[in-house]
Amino acid sequence: MLDKTGREYVRAKMPMIGFGTFQVSTEQDIYATIDAALSAGYRFIDSAQDPKYNNEHHIGKVLKELLPKYNLKREEIFITTKLRVENQGYEKAEKSILESLQKLQTDYVDLLLIHFPGCNRNDPNDPRNPVARRESWEVLEKLYKEKKLRSIGVSNYQISHLEELLGHATVLPAVNQCEYHPYYYTKDLVKYCESKDIHFQAYSSFGSECKKEALLSDPKIAALAKKYGTNVTNFLLAWALSQGISVLPRSRNPAHVKENLKALDIKVSPEDIEAARADNQTKFLWDPTKF
């Protein structure tokens, strides 16, 4: 499909709730959690090249074993992975994405995201950052046109990064995956993505590690969850889902994996979406705003 400027945009069919695998790194844990996820009804798995995931190879092996168990075909599963910060730039990006396909034991991934707008974690003023972003996107477009990537997008991009990307992209980003929850409510970014037909996807729906306990024990959130007859974690997922934002909960507990899907049945009112917001917004640790 083409947008009104003649650029192509992707419309892949992606479930609204996916199974996150951040820090689920052993083959044993990947097998147990994906087994539980597929049994519960998940059809969307989110991974990344980053060492804090370190599980693409396990996911590829485990899916070869588990898909037949549930009478599923590869095309019934939506797989996302992400280009590592250190792999940005034309040659490294292409090489690493092809390696990801090998690790995942698949001819294509459904969604490939640039994980972070900078190629240097420590220096936001590094002049290589915008060059690496552009070269990496050129690689994603190339592999998209070769059908190795069914859709392409970005993660942690702010409005300035998206405007830069839209200035040269011939294929529009399908997704922008960012941290989003009542303690970090980036309404302007969400509205910008909506205006550009970019789907906004939330990670860390229960809060980043430094704020997780505070969010899960927030009395205001607990009261709202009680109002909707649910628990805090399902309310937080429903809070995003009710805004048209997809989510990627992660759990090693099979009962929690199944429980999280109930969030799809909860509709939070616009008034309660606003009511859940924390007055003092807290930025996440991996801050992309200056790159």
CA distance 7 to 4: 7
List Cβ neighbours of 244 (8 Å cut-off, separation of 6 or more).
Answer: 200
How is the chain split into domains, by residue range? 14-208+244-265
Give the dihedral sign, CA 236/240/241/247.
negative
Tens-level pLDDT at each residue, the chain (291 residues):
445 444 554 556 899 999 999 999 999 999 999 999 999 999 999 999 999 999 999 999 999 999 999 999 999 999 999 999 999 999 999 999 999 999 999 999 999 999 999 887 767 778 889 999 999 999 999 999 999 999 999 999 999 999 999 999 999 999 999 999 999 999 999 999 999 999 999 999 998 665 667 889 999 999 999 999 999 999 999 999 999 999 999 988 889 999 999 999 999 999 999 999 988 777 655 667 666
Diameter of the chain by CA atoms? 52
* Tokens representing residue 132 in the block: 């690496």
φ and ψ at residue 109, rounded to 5 degrees: -115, 150
Q: Is 31 a catalytic residue?
A: no
CATH 3.40.190.10 at 14-208+244-265, yes or no = no
- The answer to whether the pTM exceeds 0.85 is yes
pLDDT of residue 2: 44
pLDDT of residue 145: 97
Q: Which of 9, 31, 42, 53 is catalytic?
A: 53
Known binding residue 115? Answer is: yes
